[in-house]
Amino acid sequence: MRNRNATAYRFLTPYLLIFAIFWVWPIISSFLISFQATRTVPWRFAPGFNWGRLIGDPAFFNALKNTLLILVIQVPVMIALAMVMAVLLNSPLLRARGLYRFAFFAPVVVGEVAYSAVFRLMFSLDFGIVNKLLNSIGLPKVDWFSNVTPAMALIMIAVTWRWAGYNAIILLAGMQSIPEDVYEAATLDRVSKLKQFFHITLPLLKPVIVFCAVLSIIGTMQLFTEPFLITERGGPGGGTETLGLLLYRQGFRSLNFGYASAVAYTMAGLAIAITLVQLWLTREPK
């Protein structure tokens, strides 16, 4: 048996080598970089340099606050919206179901740059359709790009628009896997459709909802495209700067790889921690 294992590992060696060089080593190496002072050449080992800066850096805490704010507001709203969309898509009354399914999924396949450009146009102060609509119902124009609160709202709207349909399709698949006769049994038990949703659909969908939430948390922790392209590099004045953007700024603009690496590992650590809390809170009772 031992011999057979050895042979198997010999066959696996080429793959394991590539895996170690291009996957394992970069992870270790980038983590080690976070312990180096990289602002001047040559880099030197200084464990407290980046991690110490992180703890006292207002820009980091601003980015962290923005990221968490988006996470706390946008993820629940998006999943609730995705649930409503999934329920509508699942309705037997709906016609042209395939068309709607495609329409809801389409934002995911639209290029990020194209969609950001369209959002900038739609929310433009003077020419945007959104402000025109607000005006038409008697509300004042909103300067979406110059004030922090509307800019944050815009980021959340954009991310929700992009990913709600995607989550709705995943939830729909979950809904369709619930056997029809469970609902029939509930109907015979005189349980209303609304109660069926809250007492049957939602509990049975819990694993799927948790899956969507975990994906969304990871995605939001890495949020970059929208604040970079729509609110122009986290504007106004860093008001929409996220951790992803801070990482980019440090790594690619200031070429301060050590600090960027510390930010990156903080993002990953936070995503894992939040996800673990989420999984613990929604665990199945034994």
- Minimum distance from residue 191 beta carbon to other proteins (Å): 4
Closest to other proteins by CB, 149 or 192: 192
According to the binding rule CB under 8 A, does residue 187 interact with other proteins? yes
234 Rama class: left (phi>0) / alpha (psi -120 to 50) / beta: left
According to the binding rule CB under 8 A, does residue 182 interact with other proteins? yes
Instruction: Number of residues interacting with other proteins: please give it, by CB under 8 A.
Output: 18
- Minimum distance from residue 189 beta carbon to other proteins (Å): 3
R_g over Cα of the chain: 24
Length of the chain in residues, anyone? 286
Closest to other proteins by CB, 93 or 109: 93
* SS3 assignment for 7-63: HHHHHHHHHHHHHHHHHHHHHHHHHHHCCEECCCCCCEECHHHHHHHHHHCHHHHHH
Picking from 201, 144, 203, 150, the residue whose alpha carbon sits closest to that of residue 175 is 201
According to the binding rule CB under 8 A, does residue 281 interact with other proteins? no
What string marks each residue from 80 to 119 as x (binds other proteins by CB under 8 A) or -? ----------------------------------------
According to the binding rule CB under 8 A, does residue 2 interact with other proteins? no
Q: How far apart are CA 234 and CA 231, in angstroms?
A: 6
According to the binding rule CB under 8 A, does residue 190 interact with other proteins? yes
Closest to other proteins by CB, 174 or 258: 174
Picking from 166, 168, 167, 175, the residue whose alpha carbon sits closest to that of residue 105 is 166
* SS3 assignment for 234-253: CCCCCCCCCHHHHHHHHHHH
Helix ranges (H only) for the chain are 2-19, 25-33, 47-56, 58-90, 97-109, 112-122, 129-136, 148-176, 180-188, 193-196, 202-221, 225, 243-248, 257-281
> Which of 108, 173, 185, 276: binder of other proteins (CB under 8 A)?
185
> Which of 40, 179, 280, 281: binder of other proteins (CB under 8 A)?
179
List 44's β-bridge partners, or say none.
Answer: 37
According to the binding rule CB under 8 A, does residue 186 interact with other proteins? yes
- Minimum distance from residue 183 beta carbon to other proteins (Å): 9
Residues 196-255 interacting with other proteins (rule: CB under 8 A): 199-200, 203-204, 206
Closest to other proteins by CB, 109 or 194: 194
Closest to other proteins by CB, 126 or 181: 181
- Residues in touch with other proteins (CB under 8 A): 179, 181-182, 184-192, 195, 199-200, 203-204, 206
